[in-house]
A and B are shown apart, each in its own frame.
Chain A
Amino acid sequence: MTKRLVQGNEAVMLGAVKAGASFFAGYPISPSSEILAQASVYAAHHPEFRFIQEEDEIASANAILGGSLAGAKSFTATSGPGFSLMQEAIGYGHKVGIPCVIVNVMRVGPATGMPTMPGQGDLNQARYGSTGDYTSIVFYPSTVAECYEYTIHAFNAAEESRSPVILMSDAFLGHLNEVADLDTIDVPVVPRTLQPLASGGERLFSGVATYPDGEPATADADEFIRQYYESRDHRLKVAERYNFHEYGWNKDSDTLVVAFGITRRIAQPLAAHFALFRPIRIWPTLDKELTEIAARYKKIIVIEGSDGQYANVVERMLLRRVERVPLLGGRMSLEAIREGLDAIGMLPAEPAPAASRAAASR
């Protein structure tokens, strides 16, 4: 039991090891690179843990598919541009049913964007980034300790759902140093669910639509639909067991703030004024939980590091209008939130304590 300073990215690496990961493939990209570096250091001291620095993120994502098929719990870590390059392989993992974990430490996009600034603009990409229909499971922690905890859950969910699971983080959370005692976090580890390659079978792992015997099923709608619903229903069922969320702050307020990841931390000084709903499982959305809670509130404000990606989801889910506070350009701060609330006429009358401290310090 030791409390110590832990960085968010480091906590992800430690969580992966705790979950039984034994293969990392990656490519350097801010603000995720510490995970790559620490995986290389860990591999240097643990020969059973395999590590490769790839030529690009396309190779990284395909390598963890291969590593997982070969028998290792496998993961990679990246940020926006690299996450874009991984999308085809993520779709392959969903089609074939390969457990693996992709950590996306979000920065500001699109394109190279603002490499060291935090953003939350990859939510839609995490859900819809690859071609075709598939069912993504995505978690997004808010603290360093949670980075550790939900990395373990991500590996567990990947095994149970037989699919690539995404762990979201962001430039602030990834680089945040917090005192944590990770030893006190006890998440049971789900063992491997996929029989490794060369186990005496004759399986064909194919991104092409095939029948169970390996023959192409590239023009058979019935077979496609059967396989699609089978994997979708299985993944939705698994996701139900991981319906992580937080409901708190001032529940008697008439306004519900929806915020997740680092934004929930930044908005903490507003706790006296609003109720809070924080989805930790970002995808599939927490329809049952949020619908029930939202019904108690007159107004809903979604505060997020994108121009309404999650607000749109909430609006569609609840079939009611929500207020939006988008935090763009990496300007993710309490001041920016207060300005955003002011712009929609919802800034609480009393200044929050942290804000007055900030003002006084100027």
Chain B
Amino acid sequence: MAVKDKLKTDLFPTIWCPGCGIGLIMQQLAAVMDELGLDKNNTVLITGIGCTGRMGAYMNFESVYTLHGRTLPVAEAVKLVRPELNVIVVSGDGDTASIGGNHLLHTIRRNANVTVVCNNNEIYGLTGGQTGPTTPKGTSTISSPAGAGYSPINLQGLVNTNPNAYYAKTTVYHQGPMRKAIKEAIQWPGFAFVDVASQCIENNGRRIGFASANDMLQNYRTEYKAAPPGSTRLESHQLGIVKGSPVPTPASGSAKSEGDLATSSPAATKSSRNGE
């Protein structure tokens, strides 16, 4: 095992605040990458703007730190041009679900064979703690002092509009389930989304009453429960995985049957539509 080889430890300590949850995701991602034999020649990281996007700079892979919200068009294009590569998107909830929301919707629809690991801290952390698309209703933030006015976006529901997609909900406290989910997601033939609840103590946690990052982790421990086996829909604060029916992926290098992606032959456009 050489998990450390996946990380640019000479650049440590990272830019992230003490107590941030992103490092806990990076650690498990690196472990999975090592386990699956992912390396600089077969894997690319695509990251978005926000604290999470810095992860690309700390890992020993080639990575693209995209514009805010644009991870998915870049990732899908890389996969389309180089189907043999593992394309892993790492980004935050604001980047993915708000400014990148339209791309998320359509990348899900096209069942792009990319893996998204979403650091979901329910806040815009890098800009100081504004309401995000995942902020629970009523949460006091610096842009919603009287409480966030709307319900958060339903990421699970969005992903599951594609019956061939993979969705997992986990937290940074639940390292084992998170690792399992990241591994399965990378191996999933089609769109896979790992929704990781993760703490931002500096720009969210303290404001909403947590004394420390550890308190937030303990809150994940007590509040999140495993969903009953066989669940096809996760309730709020349930850990679990909802898998669609996997669509077989093409052999490496083939342009012809990348599901809905490559309209590279008339046959490909007619076959493997969503819902098959």
User: Which residues of A line the B interface, CB within 8 A?
Assistant: 22-23, 25, 40, 43-44, 46-56, 58-60, 62-67, 69-72, 74, 88-89, 92, 196-208, 210, 213-216
Contact = CB atoms under 8 A, between A and B. Distances in A.
A59 B106 contact: yes
Contacts of A44: 263-266, 269
Interface string B17-56: 0000000000000000000000011111010010000001
22 contacts: A25-B73, A47-B262, A50-B255, A50-B262, A52-B263, A54-B106, A55-B105, A58-B73, A59-B106, A65-B74, A66-B75, A67-B77, A69-B78, A70-B77, A88-B67, A197-B85, A198-B44, A199-B62, A202-B40, A204-B65, A206-B57, A207-B66
Contacts of A70: 44, 77-78, 81-82, 85
B73 A66 contact: yes
B15 interface: yes
Interface residues of B, number: 46
A216 to B, nearest CB: 7
Given A202-B62, A206-B65, A63 B76 contact: yes
Contacts of A58: 70, 73, 102-103
A62 B48 CA distance: 12
| A-B residue pairs, 8 tightest by C-beta | A66-B77, A66-B74, A63-B77, A59-B73, A70-B81, A55-B106, A206-B65, A62-B73
B262 to A, nearest CB: 6
A203 B44 CA distance: 10
A67 B44 CA distance: 13
Given A202-B60, A215-B11, A52 B77 contact: yes
A47 B255 contact: yes
Given A62-B74, A198-B44, A205 B64 contact: yes
By DSSP majority rule, is chain B's interface helix, strand, loop, or mixed?
mixed
A27 to B, nearest CB: 11
Of the candidates B46, B81, B103, the one having the most CB atoms from chain A within 10 angstroms of its own CB is B81
Contacts of A71: 81-82
A179 B254 CA distance: 37
Contacts of B16: none
B262 A59 contact: no
Nearest to A98: B64
B256 interface: yes
Contacts of A25: 73, 77
Contacts of B70: 58-59, 62, 89
Contacts of A201: 40, 62
Contacts of A215: 11, 57
Nearest to A60: B73
Interface in B159-178: none
By DSSP majority rule, is chain A's interface helix, strand, loop, or mixed?
mixed
Given A44-B265, A48-B255, 15 more contacts: A44-B264, A52-B76, A52-B80, A55-B106, A56-B102, A70-B81, A70-B82, A70-B85, A89-B67, A197-B78, A197-B85, A198-B82, A202-B61, A210-B57, A215-B57
Interface of B: 8, 11, 15, 40-44, 46, 49, 56-57, 60-67, 70, 72-78, 80-82, 85, 102-103, 105-106, 254-256, 261-266, 269
A198 B73 contact: no
A47 B264 contact: yes
Contacts of B11: 213-215
A210 B81 CA distance: 27
Nearest to A40: B263
Contacts of B66: 62, 65, 92, 207
A210 B265 CA distance: 41
Contacts of B102: 55-56, 58-59
Contact of A43 (B78, B82, B263): B263
Contact of A23 (B8, B67, B77): B77
Contacts of B72: 59
B261 A52 contact: yes
B94 to A, nearest CB: 16
B40 A67 contact: no
B105 to A, nearest CB: 7
